[in-house]
Amino acid sequence: MNTSDRDQRGPSPTADSDAVIGQQAAAWWARLRADDFTRADADALRAWCASSPDHARAWRELQQLWQALDPALARAAAAPQRENVLAFPLRPGRRAFLGGALAAGVAALALRPPLDAWPSLQEMGADYRTGTGEQRQVALSPQMTVQMNTQTRIDVRAPESIELLGGEAEILASGARQPVSVVAGAGRLLAQAARFNVRHTDDAVCVTCLAGAVEVVWQQRRLTLDAGRQVVYDGRGVQAATAAPGEASAWRTGALSFAGKPLAEVVAEINRYRPGRVLLRNPELGRRLVRMRFSIAQMDGALAMIRDLTGAQMTSLPGGVVIFR
């Protein structure tokens, strides 16, 4: 093999194991963009990332790289006559070359993976995270325990201080000398002896006090939630506190409950717990109010319930995709 052939094929595993892992990560990146990318591929990718800290680091670096390259890709897409092969360093002394038809916005896949098929950039960087349908308990200290719901990410700032990056968690503060602290979105929650549920989805945060009292801090405003009260806030403001609905923490019992909710909201919640995606192709169907209660462990039963309640046509596709018409 001559020198040029060796350069094209890349270094051997014995010469540079980091480069081999980088090549594997790049191969996974190319695979996930293929038209026939499947749920089995997604599971295999997650397993590859979890099998080694070096694998996880290489995948994280590749995602960060695409994110940094997004402006360049947009310019390349706007000027197709320019050379479309980009060269960039992954680490000092090592270069990776990715070429081909590069589309603008590819880096966004690292931040919002379709169907949650692979770990997002935020997921990889979080101290603790749960996958679709997974729940997990984390005891950060004798005074603070966190029960994480599905698709949840938290960063630990101190033994009794966390940031909820996204998802949902129930916090138990057990008589801490100093208040435990939870940063979520534009606000901060403080409690010494309390149990409360925090849901951070999209840009909104919903805080429900289940026992004790929780102080909600939003800019210069402070309000205290007693047991059975709930408040919602986002970057623009804080809504008035209301009585908490009975289903606010139903997920802790292993069930989801909806009373007079639009079907679109029910489906959005199902998609947080179930791999794949449930889609409503009929807007009128999505506005229909339903009353449902079902087990988190039996999501396919929930889909059959929707079909039977509404009479909608249900079509199942590969990859866990279900369409209602």
Instruction: Give the model's pLDDT for residue 319.
Output: 74
Segment 147-200, tens digit of pLDDT: 999 999 999 998 899 999 999 999 999 976 889 999 999 999 999 999 999 999
Tokens representing residue 107 in the block? 């880096």
pLDDT at 39: 75
Cα–Cα distance for residue pair 120/114, rounded to 1 Å: 10
The most confident of the ranges 102-111, 113-122, 255-264 is 255-264
Domain 254-324 of CATH type 3.55.50.30: yes
pLDDT at 83 over 60: no
Range with the lowest mean pLDDT among 36-45, 270-279, 298-307? 36-45
Domain boundaries, the chain: 3-125, 128-243, 254-324
Report the chain's mean pLDDT, rounded to a whole number.
Answer: 79
Task: Return the higher-pLDDT residue of 214 and 132.
Answer: 214
The closest alpha carbon to 179, from 204, 216, 154, belongs to 216
* SS3 call for 152: coil
pLDDT, one tens digit per residue, over 216-273 is 999 999 999 999 999 999 999 999 999 998 778 889 999 998 989 999 999 999 999 9
CATH topology of domain 128-243: Jelly Rolls (2.60.120)
Long-range own/partner contacts, residues 312-320 (CB < 8 A, 24 or more apart):
312/282, 312/285, 318/38, 318/39, 319/38, 319/39, 319/115, 319/276, 320/39, 320/115, 320/274, 320/275, 320/276, 320/277
pTM over 0.75: no
If you ran DSSP here, which 8-state letter would residue 250 be given? G
Most confident range, picked from 127-131, 246-250, 317-321: 127-131
Tell me what pLDDT residue 96 has.
Answer: 36
DSSP-derived secondary structure for 181-227: EEEETTEEEEESEEEEEEEEETTEEEEEEEEEEEEEEETTEEEEEET
Closest CA to 217 of 195, 188, 197: 188
Residues 282, 310 contacting (CB under 8 angstroms): no
In whole angstroms, what is the distance from residue 18 CA to residue 92 CA?
12
Instruction: Mean pLDDT check: name the lowest of 26-30, 34-38, 134-138.
Output: 34-38
Higher pLDDT, 28 or 265: 265
Alpha-carbon gap, residue 195 to 217, rounded angstroms: 17
Please tell me the predicted confidence (pLDDT) of residue 161.
94
